[in-house]
Structure 1
């Protein structure tokens, strides 16, 4: 009875399908990317806290994103690195560990969107309502926005995973390189209409609210810039907004690809590859884009003080 219970709680991950020859190259690539993500994002957080000119709401919100990138990469990449040198029949993961990983993966993805929405609000206040910016965007407001960005997604993902773990399991095979909510509820032979409905509603709400807020905000910002005859205001607005908008486009593009590929089981290998590359490429690319924005701010600040 104990063995049956143990076997029921042990799942098999399919992992990435790489040849023995390419596994070493894949390991080196993922390891180097992971090291870069950790060093770049942690270094960015340290730089922002040490550089007085960066003690602004937008850059403090950057810290939020950097912490989330470190969190997301750490949840997935070390596990994939280990599985690259493990045979297909030995890629085991305990069900509880899989649930925790799925929770963290979905939390990471959702927080990416909510943090970008808080950054959108910050840019809106800074450019469209500059006279009240320092009054509204206080340190306390930054703290509240940061907590809200994490708390809202935490509650929604908790509901999402609660609906999944209530299901009985008739399968043990995870058709993915790591655990996520969609992979977990596919283990059940029960009716998962509720899971699909809530998961789709959550995705629509999250992506719809982020798309709507960013679109409306940037239309308003563009209108203000066109009406303004001050070159300095327009330059600063375009510089800061270009960084934010680039991050948003990359995030939305990757999110839509993964969501679409989940609906086509025969493209599972492509989905796993896109998902894995996204877990390392996006945090690394974001760190580079953040770094360029931070460097520009330092340059601008020092130029103004001379």
Structure 2
């Protein structure tokens, strides 16, 4: 018979089930991946903040992605690196820490979609209405878009976790490598029908909104490119939109895969790795694609390193 502990203040994370031989390579991979994510994204946020020529809508939207990557990965990876060296029975986390981690991870995933949606709108305006770009993408509009991206995610995730917090818990073992809403409400012995309904609605609304916005904007961009003889415009559209679309598809497919694998408990280890890699891969690709591909950011870095090579003469 299963033992029940009601509303325990501490929970146990199942963690990654890896062999001893795989622990060191996996630890090094996660450690250096996290180090790169932090250094690269902090570097981009700092450059965009101090360089006045980068105070443009496109780069300020990049800034949102970098901040999101820093928060999302910092909520998961450091804790996971520590837990890898702990026995299963000692992977303990307090309930309140778990709720905060779950909120942060769901904010990361949701905001990744909403920020990419407003970036698609920015690309649509830049390519389809270039003469009116400065009139449309004003500072006021940029603030509205940014607040909307984070605000919508905050409200949706807040309700998601709020419905879970109201439940009494009768179990303490979380079948996950980090805290998330599904793992949390599965700790309850009460009815989770409302949680499942809202979780499904949440997913449908988010995915329908993001997919719909991408299809709409890219359809209009494609029409403009096909009907235009402007090679410069078409080249710019291909360069900026292809990378944006690739990152979005990676985010979308990884999210759908994790959600699907939740229906197959026997594939829990695969779900754990995919959910972890979805954080790591997007955190690595975002600064590489959006940061290093930018001529302005590369020019700033080039000037910075060139200035350091110049030695004072005596």
| Band the TM-score falls in, shorter-chain normalisation | over 0.9
State the partner residue of 1:206. Answer: 206
In structure 2, the residue matched to 1:99 is: 99
Q: How far has the Cα of 1:53 moved from its partner?
A: 4.3
Q: CA deviation at 1:194?
A: 0.6
- Residues 158-237 of structure 1 mapped to structure 2, 5 A cutoff: 158-237=158-237
- How far the C-alpha of 1:131 sits from its partner, in A, is 2.0
* Residue matched to 1:85: 85
Q: Normalized per residue, which structure has more helix?
A: 1
After TM superposition, the structure 1 stretch with the greater mean CA deviation from structure 2, 230-239 or 70-79, is: 230-239
Give the corresponding residue for 1:285. Answer: 285
Note the 1:1-306 alignment, pairs <5 A: 8-295=8-295
Q: Is the CA contact (8 Å cut-off) linking 2:16 and 2:84 kept in structure 1?
A: yes
Question: Which stretches in structure 2 are left out of the alignment for 5+ residues?
Answer: 303-314
Cα deviation for residue 178 of structure 1 reads 0.1
2:307 matched to which residue of 1? Answer: none
Partner Cα distance (2:297, 2:281) in 1? 24
How far apart in 1 are the matches of 2:284 and 2:68? 12
> TM-score, structure 1 length as denominator?
0.92
Contact kept? 2:174, 2:183, Cα under 8 Å: yes
Q: CA deviation at 1:51?
A: 4.2
Query: What's the TM-score once normalised by structure 2's chain length?
Result: 0.90
Distance 1:225 1:298, change over 3 A: farther
Gaps of 5+ in 1: none
CA distance in 1, matches of 2:52, 2:158: 38
Q: CA 1:7 to 1:216, structure 2 compared with 1: closer, same or farther past 3 Å?
A: closer
1:126 Cα deviation after fit: 1.0
2:11/2:94 contact within 8 Å kept: yes
Task: Work out whether residues 160 and 199 of structure 1, in 8 Å CA contact, stay in contact via their aligned partners in 2.
Answer: yes
| Partner Cα distance (1:293, 1:281) in 2 | 17
Q: 3-state SS of the aligned residue for 1:93?
A: strand
**How far 1:46 moved relative to its partner?**
2.2
Return the offset for 1:56. Answer: 2.1
Number of the residue aligned with 2:309 = none
SS in structure 2 at match of 1:86: coil
Q: Is the 8 A contact 1:240 1:293 kept in 2?
A: no
Secondary structure of the structure 2 residue equivalent to 1:11: strand
